Structure 1
Amino acid sequence: MAFQRPWLPLSANSIPCSRSGNKSTRGLHSVTPAESSETVEATSLDPANWVQFREQAHAALDLVLSHVEGIRGQPVWQPPTPDALSYFTQELPTDAGDIDELLAGIRDYVVPFATGNLHPRFMGWVHGAGTPVGVIGELIAAGLDLNCGGRNHIGLAIERQVVKWMGQAFGYPACASGIFVTGSSMANFLAAIIAKTEALGVESRERGLVHADRPLLAYASSEAHSCIAQALQLSGIGSVHLRQIPVDEFRRMRGDQLERAIVADEQIGAQPFLVVGTAGTVNTGAIDPLEEIAAIAERHRLWFHVDGAIGALAMLSPKMKRNFSGLEKSDSIALDFHKWGHVPYDAGFLLVKDAEAHKRAFAQPAAYLQRSNEGLAAGDTWPCDLGVDLSRGCRALKTWLTLAAFGTHRIGASIEGNCALARYLADLVESSDQFVLKAPVALNIVCFGIRNADPETVRAVVTKLQLSGIAAPSWTTLEGESVVRCAIVNHRTTIEDIDIFWDALTQLAGEAAGK
C-alpha cells in the first residue's frame, strides 16, 4: 500500500513560521501534500505474514537443533556434492524468493556439508564444537542487530562484563581492558600494535616507523603460530624483525636462548620491544615457560604477550591452572572462546592489563564519534577505541550466555576430559608396533608417525579416513617428517570415539603397509 511521506505537513497552516511571523518557504516544508503527487511505496523487509514466518523460523531452529542432537549418526565430514556446489552458482536474484524453498535448499545443500567440528570424532584442527546454548545467544544477538562498535546500549555492558570475568580468571587487575575480535590472529595483531605504540610513543601513530631511532625486534619460539610473523608484517615492522627462539625437547621456548638473543640485540643498538609466549602451540600444544619469560621481559622492559588461542582457557580448570603459572604476569593475552569455550564462531578475545595503553594505541577522534554525558553518545571508552573496527557484531552475548549457563567449573571439566583422552590416545600409540609418538603431549594434541611410511602414505591414510566419514584427523610436519595430528577439542568426544578412530586408523595404515 502506498503512503505519503509522514514528515510533510498536513496543511499550509502547519508550515513553520520564521521569527518575524512570516511563513517559511525554505526546506521540505515549503511543499504541501496538495501540491505534490509524489508517493512512496512501502519498502519494509519485514514479513508480510508474521504467523507464517514464525513457523518458518521455528522450523529453521529445529533443523539446526535436530542436526546437533543427531550428530553421531552423521558422517564426521563429507565433501560438498556437485549438486550442492551447483546450488551456489546461481545468478544474482532480482525477485523475492520463497523462504520455504530457500530453507529446503539450506537443509539439503548446507547442513550436510559443514566443517564437521560439531562431530565428536573431528580431531583435525583446534575447532570448538559449539553448543545449543550458543546458538540461542547468536540468534538473539542477530535478532537485535546489535552494533557493538560504540554508543550507549546494553551490548557494551555485556562485553564489559566478559572483560571483567576474564580479568578475574587470569589474575589481571579489575581495571584491565579487553575487546572481542574475530580470532586470536587479530588479537595477536592488536597486541603487537599496542606493544609498538608503547615502545615508540603515541606520536608514532602519526609519524610511523620512519622516525624510529632503532629497529624494533620481537621474539617468539620457533613453534609460535604463523600469525605472529604476520602481525609484524601488517604492523609495518616486518617479519624479518622477529627472532625465532629455539625450543627444548618438550617444544617449549628456551629461556636462556631468549635472554641471550635480547642481550645480543641490545648490544648492536636494536630495540627489543615484544616477546610472545605461547600457551599451547598450534602443532603440538606445548606451553612455553611463562614464569621465566615474564622475568626476562621485566628485566629488559619488553611487552610480554601470550598467545593463548589454544590453551589459555584451560586456566578455568583448577587442576590445570598450575601448568600456566606466569600467565598472570603477562601484559596481554589472546584467546579464542570459539575453541575450548565452545562459543559459536567467531569469538576471539584480547585482554590487556594496562587499559590506558590499550586505548592509546587505537582511540581515534572523529566528529561523528563525539561523546556526551547522556543519550546514545554517552560513555567514555567504546570498543572502537580499543581496536580497528567500528562495525562490530555482538560476540559478547553468546559468550556471556555460554559462561553463565555452564559456569567455569563445567567448562574446565570438559577441558580436563579432552586432555585425559589425549593421554589415552598417546598410550595407544606407545603400546603399538605400528605407530610412534613424535611429540610430548602437554595438553590435547597428539602427533604420531606411521612406522615405515613415507609422507605420501601418511597423507593418503589421513585423507582416506577423512573421506570415510568415520573420523577427521589431520597431518602436520615435525622435523621434516609427515605425522598424524589429532587435536581433541570437542566436549562430545568420549573414549569410545577414540577407540572407533583408532580401529579405523589401524586398519587403513595396515592396508597401506601391505599394498
Structure 2
Amino acid sequence: MVDDTDLFSSLDPQGADWDRLRATGHRLLDMMFDNLQNLREQPVWQPLPDDMRAGFRNAPVPDQGMDADAFGEVFRETVLPYSVGNRHPGFMGWVHGGGTPVGMLAELLAAGLNANLGGRDHAPVEVERMVIRWAATLMGFPETASGLFVTGSSIANFIAVIVASRAAENGLSLRENGMRDRSLVGYAARSAHGCVSRAFDLAGLGSDALRLVPLDDSFRMDTTALKEMIAADRQAGLEPFLVVGTAGTVDVGAIDPLEAIAGIAAEEGVWFHVDGAFGAMAALSPRFKEALSGLEKADSLAFDFHKWAQVPYDAGCVIVRDSTKHAAAFAQTLSYLSREDRGLAAGAPWFCDLGPDLSRGFRALKVWATLSVYGTQRLGQMVDNCCAVARHLADRVAAEPTLDLMAPVTLDIVCFRLRDPALTDEQLDHLNGEVVKDVQESGLAAPSTTRINGRLVIRAAIVNHRTMVADVDRMVDAVLCFAAKRRSGLPA
C-alpha cells in the first residue's frame, strides 16, 4: 500500500509559498504594465548584446530549479528590452499588431485555465464558437459558417486550400487515394503572400500548381489575365479548382478586385478564397468596408486578429461558408475520440474535426476580451486613424524633394524611396537598404524594405494603434538624416 505522503507533492506551491508566488505574480504584472505605459521612452528596437546571445545559446538544461522571482528578474534583463518592438508606436516595418493591456490580461486568464479546445463539452469551446460566429457576421458571412482559430493566416490559408481541394469534383477521394492522376491547379495574383504557394506545397498539390496572375497598374490581380489562364489550363486538360484574392497585399496593401473575382469563380465553378490577413479587418470601419466589396461572396476567408485588431499573438482565423464541406475535409473517427450524447465527450462537432490540430489553446478568449472591452466601433475608429496616419505619411513623402512615393496608398501601407539623380538604380537600392538599417539600429523607428517593379523601397505599415502622426514624421526625419550622413560620407 502506498501512502500519499510518500508521493511527489505536485508542482503547486505549498502552504505559505502560495503567498510568496502571488506577490511575485503581482510584481511581474506591474513590470509589464509599467513597460507598456512607458513604451515611447524606450527604443523601438535594440540588438541583443553578444554576451546575452551567447548565454542563451550555451545555457545548459536546468537540473535544479530557481526561484520564480529570480526567473522574473532574468526575463526583465535579458528578454524584455530586446523583443521585436512591434508594441512600440515607432514600429512600422511589418504588419504586426501592437497588442493591448486587456489582451495581455486575457492571455493570463487563458494560461491559468489551461483548456484544450480540440474538443469535448466545456465553456471555452462555446466561447470560440461564439467568436467565430461574430467573425463571420463582421465579414458578411452567414452565421451558419464554420471556422476555427489557428496560429495565423499561413495555417488559415493552408486549411482553406485543403478544404477547396476536397470540395472539388471527386475531391474527397484525395483523403484516401492522394493526388494520383489528378491535375488540380489554382490561381492567385503575383502579389499574393508566399504562404499561399507554401500551402499548395504542403497540401501535396505542388507549388507549381499555383498559377501566378499578372497585376494591373494598381498592383491588383488582372482579371482578364485570370480568365485567359483558366481557359488555357482547361484546354490543356488541367482541373482549375481555386482562385485566391488578396485583401491587403503584403507589399503595398492593395485589394484585389474581389467582386470581379467572385463572379469569375462562380462562372467557372471554382472555389473562391480570400487571404485577408490584415486587410479584412478594414471591415471594422464603415469608411473602408466598401473597399472589401465581394469578400462576403467568398467560400472561405483567412485573416488575423493579431494584426489590425490588436489581439496579442497568436490569433489567426479561418472562416468557411459551407460547414459540411469544412468538416468533410478534416473529420475522422477514432475510438479514443468517440463522441457521446452527454457527458464530457458530448458537444460534437469538435474543433479537431475542422483542422489538423487536436491540441489547441484558448485563443478565442483574448479575441472575446478585445471585442468585448473595446467594441467594434472603437476598433473601427482605430482602423480609420491608422489609414489617416498613412495618408499623412504619403503627403509628407510627396512634399520631400528627395523622396518618391512608389505605390498608391490603399489602406495603411506606404512605400517610398530615396532618390538622387547622381546615383544609379543599383546604388539607390543600396542607399535605401542601408538607411533603413541605420534607422532601425538608432531605435528611433523601424521601417522595412520591399521591392516594387524590381527596385528596393522603404515600406511603412501603420498597423499599431499607438502610432500617431508625430511617429511617422520622426521616422521620415530619421530617414532623411541618415541619408544625408551617408551622402556626405559621415558615420551613420
Query: What is the SS of the residue equivalent to 1:104?
Result: helix
Q: Answer whether contact 1:87 1:109 (CA < 8 A) is retained.
A: no
Question: How many Å separate the matches in 2 of 1:90 and 1:270?
Answer: 54
Out of 38, 42, 55, the residue aligned to residue 8 of structure 2 is: 42
Count of residues paired in the alignment: 479
Q: String of CA shifts for 1:195-215, please: whole Å, max 9, x gaps.
A: 100113322201110143xx1
Query: What is the SS of the residue equivalent to 1:210?
Result: coil
Compute the displacement of 1:396 (Å): 0.3
Out of 105, 125, 136, the residue aligned to residue 94 of structure 2 is: 125
Q: Answer whether contact 2:120 2:348 (CA < 8 A) is retained.
A: no
Asked whether 1:111 is paired with 2:109, we answer: no
Asked whether 1:304 is paired with 2:304, we answer: no
Question: How many Å separate the matches in 1 of 2:395 and 2:186?
Answer: 38
Question: How many Å separate the matches in 2 of 1:399 and 1:81?
Answer: 35
Question: How many Å separate the matches in 1 of 2:451 and 2:13?
Answer: 52
Structure 1 counterpart of 2:111: 142
Q: Answer whether contact 2:249 2:255 (CA < 8 A) is retained.
A: yes
TM-score under structure 1 normalisation?
0.91
Compute the displacement of 1:454 (Å): 2.2
Asked whether 1:155 is paired with 2:124, we answer: yes
Out of 62, 67, 73, the residue aligned to residue 98 of structure 1 is: 67
Out of 380, 392, 415, the residue aligned to residue 360 of structure 2 is: 392
Asked whether 1:480 is paired with 2:454, we answer: yes
Structure 1 counterpart of 2:322: 354
Q: String of CA shifts for 1:359-400, please: whole Å, max 9, x gaps.
A: 000001111110111111001211100000001111000111
Which residues in structure 2 correspond to 1:353-502 (within 5 Å)?
353-452=321-420, 453-502=427-476
Asked whether 1:61 is paired with 2:35, we answer: no
Question: How many Å separate the matches in 2 of 1:202 and 1:352?
Answer: 17
Structure 2 counterpart of 1:203: 173
Q: String of CA shifts for 1:208-250, please: whole Å, max 9, x gaps.
A: 10143xx111000000000111000000111111111111111
Structure 2 counterpart of 1:27: none
- Give the aligned residue type for 1:100: D
Question: How many Å separate the matches in 1 of 2:59 and 2:137?
Answer: 50
Query: What is the SS of the residue equivalent to 1:454?
Result: helix
Out of 129, 133, 139, the residue aligned to residue 170 of structure 1 is: 139
Compute the displacement of 1:4 (Å): 3.4
- Give the aligned residue type for 1:400: W
Compute the displacement of 1:101 (Å): 1.3
Structure 2 counterpart of 1:512: 486
Compute the displacement of 1:111 (Å): 0.4
Question: How many Å separate the matches in 2 of 1:59 and 1:146?
Answer: 25
Query: What is the SS of the residue equivalent to 1:85?
Result: helix
Question: How many Å separate the matches in 2 of 1:206 and 1:177?
Answer: 23
TM-score under structure 2 normalisation?
0.96
Q: Answer whether contact 2:262 2:294 (CA < 8 A) is retained.
A: yes
Q: Answer whether contact 1:76 1:122 (CA < 8 A) is retained.
A: yes
- Give the aligned residue type for 2:405: L
Out of 282, 285, 310, the residue aligned to residue 250 of structure 2 is: 282
**Regions of 4+ moved over 3 Å:** 3-6
Question: How many Å separate the matches in 1 of 2:223 and 2:181?
Answer: 32
Compute the displacement of 1:96 (Å): 1.7
- Give the aligned residue type for 2:110: A
- Give the aligned residue type for 1:481: R
Structure 1 counterpart of 2:149: 180
- Give the aligned residue type for 1:437: L
Question: How many Å separate the matches in 1 of 2:339 and 2:3?
Answer: 32
Structure 2 counterpart of 1:314: 282
Q: Answer whether contact 1:84 1:110 (CA < 8 A) is retained.
A: no
5+ residue gaps, structure 1, are 7-38
Asked whether 1:51 is paired with 2:49, we answer: no
Compute the displacement of 1:5 (Å): 4.5
Structure 2 counterpart of 1:4: 2
Question: How many Å separate the matches in 2 of 1:40 and 1:365?
Answer: 41
Question: How many Å separate the matches in 1 of 2:377 and 2:92?
Answer: 24
Query: What is the SS of the residue equivalent to 2:467?
Result: coil
Query: What is the SS of the residue equivalent to 2:8?
Result: coil
Query: What is the SS of the residue equivalent to 2:172?
Result: coil
Query: What is the SS of the residue equivalent to 1:500?
Result: helix
Question: How many Å separate the matches in 1 of 2:207 and 2:51?
Answer: 43
Question: How many Å separate the matches in 2 of 1:161 and 1:192?
Answer: 24
Q: String of CA shifts for 1:423-479, please: whole Å, max 9, x gaps.
A: 111111111111111111111111111103522211110001000000000011112
Structure 2 counterpart of 1:226: 194
Question: How many Å separate the matches in 1 of 2:378 and 2:109?
Answer: 24
- Give the aligned residue type for 1:40: D
Asked whether 1:260 is paired with 2:228, we answer: yes
Q: Answer whether contact 1:266 1:272 (CA < 8 A) is retained.
A: yes
Structure 1 counterpart of 2:424: none
Question: How many Å separate the matches in 1 of 2:468 and 2:143?
Answer: 38
Question: How many Å separate the matches in 1 of 2:9 and 2:250?
Answer: 49
Instruction: Please report the RMSD computed on the Cα atoms of aligned residues, expressed in angstroms.
Output: 1.2
Compute the displacement of 1:43 (Å): 3.6
- Give the aligned residue type for 2:6: V
**Stretch moving more, 102-111 or 447-456:** 447-456
Compute the displacement of 1:81 (Å): 1.2
- Give the aligned residue type for 2:13: P
Q: String of CA shifts for 1:235-275, please: whole Å, max 9, x gaps.
A: 01111111111111110001111111111111221110000
Q: String of CA shifts for 1:97-132, please: whole Å, max 9, x gaps.
A: 121211111011110001100000100100000000
Question: How many Å separate the matches in 2 of 1:333 and 1:425?
Answer: 30
Question: How many Å separate the matches in 1 of 2:63 and 2:107?
Answer: 29
